[in-house]
A and B are shown apart, each in its own frame.
Chain A
Amino acid sequence: MGQITLQGVAKRFGEVEVIPPLDLTIDDGEFVVFVGPSGCGKSTLLRLIAGLEDLSGGRILIDGKDATEASPAKRGLAMVFQSYALYPHMSVRKNIAFPMKMAGVPKAEQERRIEAAAKALNLTNYLDRRPGQLSGGQRQRVAIGRAIVREPAAFLFDEPLSNLDAALRVGMRLEISELHNRLKTTMIYVTHDQVEAMTMADKIVVLQAGRIEQVGSPLELYHTPRNVFVAGFIGSPRMNLFSGAAAAEYSAQTIGVRPEHLRISATEGKWKGRVGVSEHLGSDSFFYVEDTGLAETITVRSTGEVDLHHGDTVWLTPDEGKIHRFDKNGDRI
């Protein structure tokens, strides 16, 4: 079981309010991603749940029981740190065994769980090495192994992939998703990378300045962002946002159109512009259109190969049903 409920949870460092009181429920077995720009309080929120920071207000319930004052170890949660935080003086085997040793798990049982975790994480051949002799991806797996063997109520991940190179990151992302499918344990995952959030999460929590901007499934966030911030943050490439006359036409302060919802044509359309940089990836083509009078550049994504190049005059037409409208507070209309 691993249901976590935050009630009015707040954190102040001295005079600075990092997290104003917020409420959030994480259901058992859910994969929840906290995402937001750096400094938005997502890591602090995770550390509050872990018990590594004291709350300034509110309560944390784990499986319905008040865990606000419980020490980190008593909460039954496991955490994978950004730096992996492996014990450099212990072998991989001892690293993985450490939480079980602390909990007084019998030796035979420890061995069984280590073997199982090592097999699942492809670490069997590395059990007697020290962390210093492993690659970044292997260290990452050891950190996960150390979390798995505790059989925790929930896993907490604090930007676990940020120290890996791009190729490895995609691989580890899949492994963590698979792990979740297999274990069906609650996972809370913190990242600043919206792609990680979109690909892994059952539920995304978008944070800004300690406030929850929106909670929802990846597609909910994609289709119906609640405000300009979420609209601009979720989706890659970013949503194009216009204000002024173009927005007034739709009786809104700001309108947003995703790059994939713009049609590009050399002959006709709604807005005229000129192609700046064009990127041809084969499966997709990206165009950065300038001189439209709407915004500095407008990003357009077309599927397949489109024969337009730098300097060409083009017309853009939005998909009328996919235009997002926002009022002067930035909220969705």
Chain B
Amino acid sequence: MARATSRNARIGWTVAAWFVALLIFFPILYTIITSLKTEQEAIAGFDLIPSFTLESFQTVQSQNNYFRPFTNSVILAVGSTLLALIVAIPAAWAMAFSPTKRTKDILMWMLSTKMMPAVAVLVPIYLIFLWTGLMDTRIGLTILLMLINLPIVVWMLYTYFREIPGEILEAARMDGATLRDEILYVLTPMAIPGIASTLLLNIILAWNEAFWTIQLTTTNAAPLSAFIASFSSPQGLFWAKLSAASVMAIAPILVLGWFSQKQLVRGLTFGAVK
């Protein structure tokens, strides 16, 4: 409400909100702190002040070759997202600007494919990957992640494209724009913000995917999610090193995520909440 709130009430709410926020953020914060400790400090009991050593980060890299899974994560997340966009942009464009009676049904059906539990197709996908030699390859996993997120990508783009008023495209047509001009000069510049948000959210989703990446990789194509999951058992007692690996795995996506808060709501609710 635009009304002036009393200063005391505001201080009260602020303290309460910050307390809750820090509580929720605490596990991440504590992981960051621990990653800057030595192994001895890490298990020496509760302490919020680390010695700010980067030794754990160096160890993770030198012993486990962190860069391989990191590169895999980047390739899988970006690759699958770009592939999905190539397929989804024309589809969403057609559905938004030349809708037919069945467009709504097609969209609902696309959504329904997202409801299929991954575990229901674990057996056939696993076998197909074994038979075709796609097991533990980047290409296989990239295609799989693309298919998993394709419905969300189509839906997000569709809701963004629908916000572009049809009259503008008609105006372009009246102005003598060919289909190519229309896409190049009118549609693309207006659609780019929507496409960028879709790209961002989908990279986040693909980066954090942790069912198929664990099932279908061993070492060669394993991204960070699979790498960290395998990290758990043998390295369990090296707290600082574990924290360092965790921080490196989540830091890039955490930053991307902060930039895409608004799009997150829209994308994950299929446009139902804006």
Contacts and interface: CB of A to CB of B under 8 A. Distances in A.
Contact of A85 (B167, B178, B189): B167
A150 interface: yes
Nearest to B177: A102
Contact of A73 (B176, B185, B190): B176
Contacts of A79: 170-171, 174
A87 B173 contact: no
A182 interface: no
Contacts, number: 62
Contacts of A82: 167
Contacts of B173: 52, 71-73
Interface in B155-211: 165, 167-168, 170-178, 181, 185-186, 189-190
Given A83-B167, A85-B168, A87-B168, A102 B181 contact: yes
A100 to B, nearest CB: 9
B189 A73 contact: no
Contact of B174 (A72, A86, A87): A72
A273 B256 CA distance: 76
A87 B186 contact: yes
A81 B170 contact: yes
B190 A89 contact: yes
A102 B165 contact: no
Contacts of A50: 170, 174
Contact of B165 (A52, A71, A83): A83
B175 A81 contact: no
A78 interface: yes
B171 A73 contact: no
A98 B184 CA distance: 12
Contacts of B186: 87
Contacts of A72: 170, 173-174
A77 interface: yes
Q: Which of A52, A71, A86, A103 has most chain B Cβ within 10 Å?
A: A52
Contacts of B174: 50, 52, 72-73, 77-79, 99
Contacts of B172: 87, 98
Interface in A61-102: 71-73, 77-79, 81-83, 85-90, 98-99, 102
Nearest to B168: A85
B185 to A, nearest CB: 7
Interface string A16-55: 0000000000000000000000000000000000101000
Contacts of A73: 173-178
A13 to B, nearest CB: 12
B170 A89 contact: no
Contacts of A81: 167, 170-171
A88 B190 contact: yes
A274 interface: no
A146 B172 CA distance: 11
A150 B170 contact: no
A102 B179 CA distance: 11
Contacts of A103: 176
Given A87-B186, A88-B190, A98 B175 contact: yes
26 contacts: A73-B173, A73-B174, A73-B175, A73-B177, A73-B178, A77-B174, A78-B174, A79-B170, A79-B171, A81-B167, A81-B171, A86-B171, A87-B168, A87-B172, A87-B186, A87-B189, A87-B190, A88-B190, A90-B189, A98-B185, A99-B174, A99-B175, A99-B176, A102-B178, A103-B176, A150-B175
Interface of B: 165, 167-168, 170-178, 181, 185-186, 189-190
